[in-house]
Amino acid sequence: MESVGTPALWIGFIAFVILMLALDLGVFHRKAHVVSIKEATVWSIIWMAMAFAFAGFVFWQFGSQRGVEFVTGFLIEKSLAVDNIFVFVVIFSALGIPALYQHRVLFWGILGALVFRSIMIWAGAAALAEVHWLMYVFGAFLLLTGLKLLYQVTREQAAASPEESKLIRWAKRFIPTTTRFDGQRFFTRENGKRVATPLFLALVLVEITDIIFAVDSIPAIFAITQDPFIVYTANIFAILGLRSLYFVLAGIIDRFKYLKVGLALVLVLVGIKMCLLEVAKIPAGISLLVVASILGISIVWSLRATRGLARKPPPGTGNEPPATIGDRPAE
């Protein structure tokens, strides 16, 4: 498929992303602080407004077909990104990451995610351009992934704690680590040796988690469009707002009880769509309507079913300050 992305558009969009990341870390979050729900909500609205403003630009410049593809892809990627938040909550809780430093971990984690996803999108687009039948492989993979997720949800299987995972054990075995914090540093010195702080372990988990989720989400958006520019921009806009969305939803993530059901159904449907690509081509508008309906129903259903649950404090809040390098151990 011919891409609408000209060299000028690619350069302009990447420059915009770099500018926003520089403003985020260099201006708005220059000093470590606990991100309030109000601040996170404002930033979430800003990121959503930017995404839909860009969608308007796509509609205006490239027509309704590409515009609908962008919006559908963005909704799928944004919804699948919410799944990351479930894992972030577990990671920060298991490693005892204070709320004061969580934004820093997520910033660098999502910066890494932007790089890895860019590579995966380019690789996927190049592979599909050369080997068309890979589309059916992607479709079968998404179908099986959706069915597996649906089975896990119905069986109410809980995810394993990161503290007990092979990844954490491997990291602690091969990377010298400490349980102490040294401000917001990822590495520090202890007994004359350079060691990783819990922040670095959390960063490793965030990166690995996103790569795992990207294996599902990137093929899903290729089911909507094979235009690399639309795939890339929808992915990036979904990821850029993930940090602020985490701080909005961290305390009420348990209320999204049936969101995974909705995500599983979306993966199954896009998988079927990819497998039937040569048999029946589903219009982009119908795909958008179906995806939005499934996700909307699952969210409303979740909120109604968990109406009585109170907001929980996000991980890392309400506890004693963590021990830092140089602190004397409690006697």
Q: Given this model, what pLDDT does residue 60 score?
A: 93
Residue 318 lies in a domain: no
Residue 70 lies in a domain: yes
Distance between CA 7 and CA 11 in Å, rounded? Answer: 6
How many residues appear in the chain?
Answer: 331
Helix axes 99-130, 7-23, angle to 10 degrees: 170
Supply the range of the domain harboring residue 280: 28-305
CB atoms within 10 A of CB 22: 10
Contact 298, 258 (CB under 8 A): yes
Q: Given this model, what pLDDT does residue 55 score?
A: 93
3-state helix, strand, coil in the chain (%, to 5): 70, 5, 25
Residue 316 lies in a domain: no
Residues 6+ apart with CB under 8 A from 194: 176, 187, 188
Residue 312 lies in a domain: no
Predicted confidence pLDDT, tens digits, the chain (331 residues): 567 878 898 999 989 888 888 877 666 666 666 777 788 888 888 888 999 999 999 999 998 889 999 999 898 888 887 777 877 877 887 788 888 888 888 888 888 888 888 888 888 878 877 777 777 888 888 888 888 877 777 666 444 444 445 666 776 777 778 888 888 888 888 887 888 888 888 888 888 878 877 877 788 888 888 888 999 999 889 888 888 888 877 767 777 777 778 888 888 888 887 787 666 677 777 878 888 888 888 888 888 887 766 566 666 665 444 544 444 333 3
Residue 83 lies in a domain: yes
CB atoms within 10 A of CB 120: 17
Helix (H, G, I), strand (E, B) or coil at 186: coil
Helix (H) or strand (E) holding 194: strand 193-196
Residue 178 lies in a domain: yes
- Tally of domains within the chain: 1
Q: Given this model, what pLDDT does residue 35 score?
A: 72
Structure tokens at 161: 């704690």
Residue 319 lies in a domain: no
Q: Which residue has the tokens 């601040």?
A: 39
CB atoms within 10 A of CB 53: 9
Residue 129 lies in a domain: yes
